Structure 1
Amino acid sequence: MFERTTRQLRLTDEGRLYLQHCRQALQSLDDARAALSAEKKEIRGKIRVSATSDFGRHVLRPWLDEFTTRYPQVVPALLLSDSLSHLIADDVDLVIRFGVPPDSSLIARPLAANRRVLCAAPSYLKRKGTPTHPAQLGDFDHIVAGQTGWSSEWRLQCGEESLLFKVPLEAARETNDGAVARQWAIDGHGIVLKSIWDVSADLAAGRLSRVMPDWHSTEAPVHALYPQSRYLAPRVRALLDFLRERFEKASREIVDADRHA
């Protein structure tokens, strides 16, 4: 099961397979206990949630604090990664992501609308100027967050007009961590395309400014994802209801902020 050297101890392939089955067995026991609790309508226990790094830190983390204030017997575990976690292997109850991954084994529940917007630090725009049309973006510095490919192709639309801007990667700052990309933008290193959920607080506080506010990416709604085979414990159902409520309230606040911008 283990490979031992003088410096480290690591699992063999067989050990990793055995560990995965052990995790599934423990999850089945946890689901069974949750089913018994459901008869008593108890909302309690550990809930494991996966989210992207930026959204998880700046939006979901304080929301989970609100949720556990409402349900003090629930203990959160927040796993942050910009890649899609494997729900079974990582023992995750709920994954929050923008868009829906091409995985038919997952149930996807829409939580809120979402769009990606261009933004940059006010200091950067004062120094470099502000583009008024996507055709001018090539004259500016760029920050790319995510997997190279889709993340470097900014598909922008304004009414009936649409345009594809391909970021010149040889001169762009790149990272697979959305929080790093956001911080680079705040620090004045260029223009970034980010989910409105990731940057709404920065826009409200003046740390970032919208660039070409009439232009944005196509919708990639926020979804909650979970396996079809997994029993939804009362705590998970309660969190889904709470998130729908919280997203609805926050969506209204974002719309109001856009109207007064």
Structure 2
Amino acid sequence: MIRIDDLGMFVRSAALGSFTAAALEADLLPGQMAAAIKRLERELDVRLFARTTRSLRLTAEGEQYLPTAVSVLETLKHGRETLRSENAPLRGVLQVAAPSDLGRNILLPWLSAFRREHPQLNLRFFLSDQIADLFREPVDVAIRYGLNHDANYVALPLAPWNRRVLVASPDYLLRKGSPTVATDLLEHDCLLYLQSGRVYDKWRVGAQTVQVSGPLFSDDADVARRWAVEGEGIAFKSWLDVSADVKAGRLVVLLQDHPGEPLPLSLVCPHRKQVSPAVSQLHSWLSQQLVTLKRV
């Protein structure tokens, strides 16, 4: 089995061109350095150095193997640094943006609990149904619905299984009846709201897209959910937004054989280098919480 220490001695000997210099640097005897190289050569069954009394140079096999040894050592170093940073207390400020209804009804208590586990971390939470511009607005990460079509962003999946669902209250269904096919929605009161600055009235249900209408509209997506709970009509919402109402019996999922469009949830940041320990741990924390809401 190859020893990691022997790999390090090989890399330093190659860099310095001398067993003696590498041994001095590592506070070892030259004989110990030479023994380490012999062990490595024995494990690899190749000769790594061409040695004379006056010079030390890599063989062709040594030159071929050197990048691999360097890569292995760098990977181990990165893993060690990551582990140390993840175990260190989180400090500083973490600025998070999220959709208003998801943030208010689901994420808020989870973020509060996350902050309690990391008391040296300051959390700033911004709620809006407008998509946050991570390059202009004072946020570090955004929690977003939908697929990441912007190559400039890094999207870490939180709930890739999430979908839109049609929901209405038992009271509404008792008064108006239940739709049996997607086109039945044309005869129902559909609850409308803004999405990306436009009225969301083209609902993709199963294989069909239906342009719906209704007497109620709001610029706050959570209002549509509240109207649905009050029996005012049918809403087409993220499962995450309505899961608690469905489980409590306040809402009923409709047309279950005609699934709504996928609506994955992700944690988005501008660049992979900005995935700090705080961002990484928040992603892990939220993923664990969200899996408890997965629809079965």
How far 1:230 moved relative to its partner?
A: 5.5
Residues 208-247 of structure 1 aligned to structure 2 (within 5 Å): 208-228=251-271, 231-247=274-290
Q: Which amino acid is the alignment partner of residue 186 of structure 1? A: V
How far 1:150 moved relative to its partner?
A: 7.5
Runs of 4+ with >6 A deviation: none
Among 141, 150, 155, the residue aligned to 2:204: 155
- 2: CA distance, partners of 1:150 / 1:203: 25
- Over 3 Å counting, the alpha-carbon distance change for 1:39 and 1:138 in structure 2 is closer
Q: Which has the larger radius of gyration?
A: 2
Q: Is 1:185 the counterpart of 2:193 in the alignment? A: no
- Over 3 Å counting, the alpha-carbon distance change for 1:134 and 1:230 in structure 2 is same
Question: What is aligned with 1:205?
Answer: 248
SS of the equivalent of 1:182 reads: helix
- 1: CA distance, partners of 2:132 / 2:273: 15
Residues 80-119 of structure 1 aligned to structure 2 (within 5 Å): 80-112=127-159, 113-119=161-167
How far 1:46 moved relative to its partner?
A: 2.2
How far 1:88 moved relative to its partner?
A: 3.0
Q: Retained in 1: the 8 A contact 2:193–2:199? A: no
Question: What is aligned with 1:121?
Answer: 169
Q: Retained in 2: the 8 A contact 1:118–1:211? A: yes
How far 1:74 moved relative to its partner?
A: 2.2
Overall identity of the aligned pairs, in %:
37
Q: What is the TM-score of this pair, normalised by structure 2?
A: 0.66
Q: Retained in 2: the 8 A contact 1:154–1:167? A: yes
- Over 3 Å counting, the alpha-carbon distance change for 1:149 and 1:232 in structure 2 is closer
SS of the equivalent of 1:145 reads: strand
Q: Is 1:44 the counterpart of 2:87 in the alignment? A: no
How far 1:38 moved relative to its partner?
A: 4.5
> Deviations for 1:94-144, whole angstroms, at most 9, x for unmatched residues?
111111353222111111121000001211111111111112111110111
- 1: CA distance, partners of 2:145 / 2:272: 22
Q: Retained in 2: the 8 A contact 1:98–1:114? A: no
- Over 3 Å counting, the alpha-carbon distance change for 1:149 and 1:84 in structure 2 is closer
- 2: CA distance, partners of 1:249 / 1:166: 33
Root-mean-square deviation over aligned CA pairs: 2.3
Q: What is the TM-score of this pair, normalised by structure 1?
A: 0.74
Aligned residues: 212
- 1: CA distance, partners of 2:141 / 2:86: 22
Q: Retained in 1: the 8 A contact 2:89–2:120? A: no
Is the deviation greater in 135-144 or in 222-231?
222-231
Question: What is aligned with 1:166?
Answer: 211
SS of the equivalent of 1:216 reads: coil
How far 1:243 moved relative to its partner?
A: 1.5
Q: Retained in 1: the 8 A contact 2:154–2:271? A: yes
SS of the equivalent of 2:138 reads: coil
